[in-house]
Every structure is written in structure tokens, then in C-alpha cells.
Structure 1
Amino acid sequence: MGYKGWTIKTFLLLHLLIFSVDPTKEEVDNNLIIKTIQTADGQTFACVSFKSQPSLRHPLLMNHTTQLMPPISFPHSTDDDEGSKFGISNVEMSEIECPPGTVPILTSYNGSMSTRSFDKIIYSENRNDKGNRQMAAVVIVPSTFYGLQTSISIWEPDLGTGRPPRFSGAIVVLKNGGSRVAVGWSVDPHLYGDNLVHFEIAWVDNDKSCINLRCAGFVQMSKKAIPGIIIRPVSTVNGKQYIIRVKIIKFMGDWVLKVGEEIVGYWPSKLLTHMSEAADVISWMGVVEAAPGEPFPPMGSGQPADEGETKAAFFADAKVIDASGSFATPALKTINTVATEPNCYDVGRPYTTDDGLQFYYGGAGCSPSQPIK
């Protein structure tokens, strides 16, 4: 199913991913900053009191009880968090040394731009206003989901020149109705002011959306895995491969994010209108955007899916937490593959192992009328 092009079910699933929302943005109040830290990479982080971060000042969370969950409380998959069984290394994230009782929030975004709208991360079916947004994805048919895990290979594609917006990344998304959360990586000079790869999260709820910690929506707990932080090292073609291992788990009513062995934080269910109980669709995708009239940038490693191991970008170890509350590998009959611009990007045939669902994806980018040779 879904391996030979478009199907009715694929078309319907794409419509489940369509939305256009106004982004929200909230700068950190200078009066709340306890310490400012600048990294060797030039990023600036504000250390704020845990309770002063944007999400915990949201009106709906005034009486919210903070989650302090031990990792042992999570459901367990068949593999551990230390690395994939196929010998690929985890990336490193530098700990930001904020004082006790505080959390770091990235503040050094490109000052000339407003928060990127979440509809630019996930493809819109409106072909008259698509903004050259494209994806190569695996989408699971609707069901009841309480979380997921996946390994995402990390790349730093050269986007070349071109006017903004210009973006390339890889994300995994949980959604239900008008609510969704996403996590992955991106190279986005317009957002970050550099050409480096960044750890990125996002959420949307009806008419609101947000990237990283720029507004209320995600409760940050980690001082190491920080939304927006630069990721090092990155994979190279025919060289060593690096991944981030991601889990999103419904825990004590909220959606908890874990990267490797680190609990990053959580999205409070109170802020996700349609995901207070469960998600109904999960998708794994490479995504790009170019300004109208500009050629599409590379996706993933810049190599097509059929280049395979050590060359093409991939998602691996993908499992879902189903209605039983256990990790399960998606059955191939329950997934569809989607490449919205197959002249430029492709998705390899997914397959399953004991570790979970795996697939390659990507492409060098091109103009839609000029296929990759």
C-alpha cells in the first residue's frame, strides 16, 4: 500500500495534515532573566526561573502541577536509549550551565523575522499558496496512539543561495484534529541566522502555533536538550552517521518528550484541544521550503533514497504506542508513502526489523520542471 504513487487513502491522509495558522510569539521578559549565556557557536540563552518560562505563565496552567517524572516510569521498547542496534552514534548537545532552579531558553534568533508559521513545516495541499513547501513522508493510517519512538539521522544540507524563506529539515509529527506536536531538526537561516542544523520542536492548536520555546506551549525541563540548540556532530555521505533518538509519550495526562536518555520536557494536554486523550495520526517526514520561483533546496543528505546506507537520510527504530499502551512496530499494510514533488524527492520502500520501521528518503532538490538526473 502506498508504494506505487498516490492512492485515495494517501490523498485523505494528506488532508489530515493540512492547516494554516497564525504563529504566536512571546519574547523573554528581561526582568525575568537571571543569567545570560553565550555559547562558542554564538547562540545566546536566557536562564529564567523554571516557573517563569512562558508555558507556566499561561492562564490555563496557573494551577498546573509540574511533572517530575523518572525515566523508569515510561513504557519500554525493545531497545534502549543509548543508541541504535545498527552501530550508529547519538549526537551531542552541550549542557547550558544555568543556575539551579532555572532553565535555558534560546533568545538569539534572527532579529529581523517573526516566528515561522507551523504550516511552513508541514505541507499544505493548497497548491495556489503552497510557498514551495514539500515533503517526503511515511504516514500511518488513523488509529489511537499514545506516543512514539524513532531515530532520525542528522544532516546539515547546504541550502545554497536564495531569498527566504528557505528551509530543510526532518520531523516526526503526532496529531489529532487541529492539534499536533512535532520534533526533529532543521537548517533554517531565516529563523536562526546561520546555516547550521538545530534541534527543533513545534506545536499547533487550532489557530495558534509556535516554534521551540518562543511562546507558551512546551514546559522545558532539560539544560542540555534545548529547543533551537545547534546539533553536533552531523552525518556525512560515506562517513559516520549520527542520529537523535526521540520518544514522545503520553504520561500522567501530558505529552512528554525524551531525546536519548534526556527528558526534554512536555506539552501540557490542557493546551492541546484535540490531543487531551490521544493522537490519531503519526507521520515521519523530510520537509523543505523555498520562496516562490526559487529552486527547492536539498532534503536530508541531498542523496535520493535508493542510495541507501551511509548515503541517504533515514528514519529508523520507529514504533508507536498503541491502544494497549505498549510499543509496537507499525504494520506495513497500515502505512502510506508520500512524495509531494517526486521529480525532486523520494521515499524508499519502508521495511520492518526487530527494532521497528525503517525507511530512507531525500533528494538533491531541483525545480519541479527539471527532474534530478
Structure 2
Amino acid sequence: MATTAATRSVKPVLLLMSVQIMFGLLHAVISEEENLEMERQLRVINKPPIKSFKTDYGDILDCIHIYKQHAFDHPLLKDHKIKMRPENIPKSMTAEGESPKLLPDNIKCPPGSVLIKRTTKEDLIMANKMKALGLNHPMNPSAPDANTATVRYSKHNFGARTTMNVWGPSTLPRQASFANLWISNGPSEELNVVQAGWAVFPMLFSSNNTRLLTYWTGDGYNTTGCFNYLCPGFVQVHPQITLGLVLDQLSVYNGTQSDIQISIIKDGEWWLQLFNQFIGYWPQKLFFYMYGGANNAVWGGLVICPSDEPSAEMGSGHFPKDGLQNKSAYFKDTQIYDGARFTYPSPDQLVLCSSRPDCYGAELAPGVAPNTMDLFYGGPGQCHI
């Protein structure tokens, strides 16, 4: 029986200590000029809060006036008028039951403001260094330090939705393990991408908690785009759910599974939905090739790590061949949005890919709905890439 994912307790102290030591060393090598520049960036990114909260995980969550959020520092969004929800998608198409409680009731912003995780200096340090890890689209893993186990749908679409179980894969401080839905279009060097899901990413968050994570790029991960709120672009509209949220209810191997439902759908803008809650959107002005929709939807796992380390776990840390139900990481009930309704892709429209089958597996199995397929993926890693 599946439960939903929210906030969780910290993982082993040794890994947390190694992350903290790494940050201490990084601070030691930062010049005074770099330090001043980061402080300037933080003043731009973190707008004056109306109200603030501190979570059990040490995060500061700020209530920011909805029109003063960092998104509107983007030159293309200076005169952007905020939309609070998609205009053409009926609520009955996207609302599936009551939304789970993701944060305590007392963490909620006043009317006219939105909840945004405060960016720290560590976030900026890591954002400047993480490209060396090989972040890329799973269809174009040109960076040598990336590994994928995914399924691809390569037909015109306006987004997708999927249900994925949430895990806490073991990662070293310089590694990251993702479970994402990617929507994209365009040539590889100018690829337009929006992606969302969960990740364990110690370098980005100074902890090894599993978190809600997004990314966007308008030029193939080269100069545009970022994770969550680290650059202007994503427009937050929800007063009680923030990107970077710790997901604490994790799946248990051979036990209870904890799910989240993620949707990325185009309705004028590219909307992000968690369960039945619209968190916000990426304005279509940010993209050239996705103005009229997308040509690819990909879902599955991605691991990035330095080549001098054994690779991190993906998903549950077990291969699908070790057992599917309650043992393997999965994406279930994945549907494609065609601009009017959600439909299941037929099995012959899906292409399975595992870049290193000896490290990570990927397997399709029949879903609950007729003529549908679910993805099971993951593995222990521990191989040099």
C-alpha cells in the first residue's frame, strides 16, 4: 500500500559530517572578491520576506510578495502578468483526491505572498561547481560522468504526468541521484527542457535528504536555466509548497511504498503540479523550441558523480531483476497530455534505455490500465563510470 511523501528525519551522521567538512574547505578557498559577489547575488535572489519559517531540517522558508519574487528579475518577465492556475484545463482533469500535507499547518504564507526556500551561500557555491558533474538531458548524456535508466516517448506532446515512489539512495558528497520527468524539444546544443521530480543531492542542499527538485534550460544546460529558484524564471504561485521541500516519507524495501505524483503540462505556460496542487510555472517566453509544445517526454533515473568515485545508488539501490513490487523504484500510471486530455502511450511508442546495465537496470512491465506499461529502474551502482 502506497503512502505519500512529505518531510523526514536526517540520515547517518557520517555523511552529513563529510558534507559539512567539504563546505568548510570550499569556504576556505573562496576569495574575498568572490565572497562579496555571492553576497550581492544573495541580496538579488532573496527578496525581503513578509514572514519566515525555519524547518526541522534547518531550511529558511520565506513568504515573498508574489510580484516581488526573483522570477521577475528575468528581462523577459518584466511586464509578466501572473496566472494563478491553468486557464483551459478543467479541475476535474488534474485533481485526483485530497492533496497530502507536505508541511506543518503553521507554515503558510499570507494572501498575496508565496512560499520560497531561501537561497544560501552554499547553494551558490555548489551551483557554480555542479556543471563539472555532468548535468545533462538523459537523451543526450554527452557528459562522461552521467548514468541513466529511463524510458522515452518521442512524439509531439504538451507534457505528461506520472506517479513515482520516493527513496533515499546512498550518495557521497560529490554525487547526485535523481528520479525525474523531463519534457523537451529542440536540437541538443539548444535543447529546451523542463524537468521535475526528486533527488538526493548533497552538493546542492548541504544535506543528504531527498527533496523536491526542478530544473529548466533554454540552451542545452549551457548558460540558461537553473535548479529551483537559483535564477529568475520559475514563477511560484503556491503559498504552502516550495521547491526544495524535504520529502520525508520514504519507500521501504519489501515494505510500504511512498509515492508522489508529478505533472508538467502546457496551458499557455509550462505548469508544474504536485499531486493536485499547482506549484507554479515556467513562462513560455523562456523557451524558443517549446512554444508550440514538446517532442520528447522521458522518465526515469539519473546518477551523476566524479569519475574517480564508485557510482551512487539509483532508486531503491536494487536492480529491477531483484524484484519489482515493493522492491524496485518505479514510475507508474504515466500519461501524455495531448493538449486536450491525458492518454496512455502504447507500448510500441516507448523506448527503454539503460546507459550502464551492469550498474543500473530498466524494465517495462504491464500497468494496471489495459495496454499500458510501467517503468521499474535502479541499481546499486558502485562502478566507475
- Give the alignment's TM-score, normalised by structure 2: 0.79
User: What residue in structure 2 maps to residue 292 of structure 1?
Assistant: 307
- How many equivalent pairs are there? 332
Rounded Cα–Cα distance in structure 2 between residues aligned with 1:139 and 1:63: 36
User: What residue in structure 2 maps to residue 13 of structure 1?
Assistant: none
Instruction: Note the C-alpha offset of 1:329.
Output: 0.5
Spell out, residue by residue over 1:336-367, the C-alpha distance to the aligned partner (whole angstroms, 9 max, x if none): 11101111001012434328541210001121
User: What residue in structure 1 maps to residue 192 of structure 2?
Assistant: 179
Residues 1:62 and 2:78 aligned together: yes
Paired residues for 1:70-219 under 5 Å: 73-74=89-90, 81-82=96-97, 92-94=102-104, 96-109=107-120, 110-111=122-123, 112-115=125-128, 116-117=130-131, 120=135, 122-123=137-138, 129-130=143-144, 132-141=145-154, 143-159=155-171, 161=172, 164=174, 166-177=175-186, 178-206=191-219, 207-219=223-235
**Partner-residue secondary structure (3-state), 2:156:** coil
Preserved contact between residue 49 and residue 102 of structure 1 (Cα < 8 Å): yes
Please identify, of 26-35 and 234-243, the stretch whose mean Cα deviation from structure 2 is larger.
Answer: 26-35
Rounded Cα–Cα distance in structure 1 between residues aligned with 2:80 and 2:176: 35
**Partner-residue secondary structure (3-state), 2:292:** coil
Preserved contact between residue 94 and residue 224 of structure 1 (Cα < 8 Å): no
Point out where structure 2 has 5 or more consecutive residues left out of the alignment.
Answer: 1-39
Q: Give the AA of the match of 1:327.
A: F
Instruction: Note the C-alpha offset of 1:72.
Output: 8.7
Structure (1/2) with the larger helix percentage: 2
Q: Alignment RMSD, CA only?
A: 2.7
Rounded Cα–Cα distance in structure 2 between residues aligned with 1:230 and 1:196: 6
**Partner-residue secondary structure (3-state), 2:182:** strand
Instruction: Note the C-alpha offset of 1:126.
Output: 6.4
Instruction: Note the C-alpha offset of 1:254.
Output: 0.6
Instruction: Note the C-alpha offset of 1:124.
Output: 7.6
Preserved contact between residue 177 and residue 313 of structure 2 (Cα < 8 Å): yes
User: What residue in structure 1 maps to residue 273 of structure 2?
Assistant: 258
Paired residues for 1:190-339 under 5 Å: 190-206=203-219, 207-251=223-267, 253-306=268-321, 307-322=323-338, 325-339=340-354
Preserved contact between residue 114 and residue 240 of structure 2 (Cα < 8 Å): no
Q: Give the AA of the match of 1:113.
A: M
2:67 to 25, 28, 51: 51
Rounded Cα–Cα distance in structure 2 between residues aligned with 1:297 and 1:204: 25
- Give the alignment's TM-score, normalised by structure 1: 0.81
Q: Give the AA of the match of 1:340.
A: S
Please identify, of 104-113 and 242-251, the stretch whose mean Cα deviation from structure 2 is larger.
Answer: 104-113
Instruction: Note the C-alpha offset of 1:261.
Output: 1.7
Instruction: Note the C-alpha offset of 1:71.
Output: 8.8
Rounded Cα–Cα distance in structure 2 between residues aligned with 1:107 and 1:335: 39
Q: Give the AA of the match of 1:134.
A: N
Preserved contact between residue 71 and residue 234 of structure 2 (Cα < 8 Å): yes
Q: Given the superposition, is the C-alpha separation of residues 126 and 70 from structure 1 closer, same or farther in structure 2, using an over 3 Å criterion? A: closer
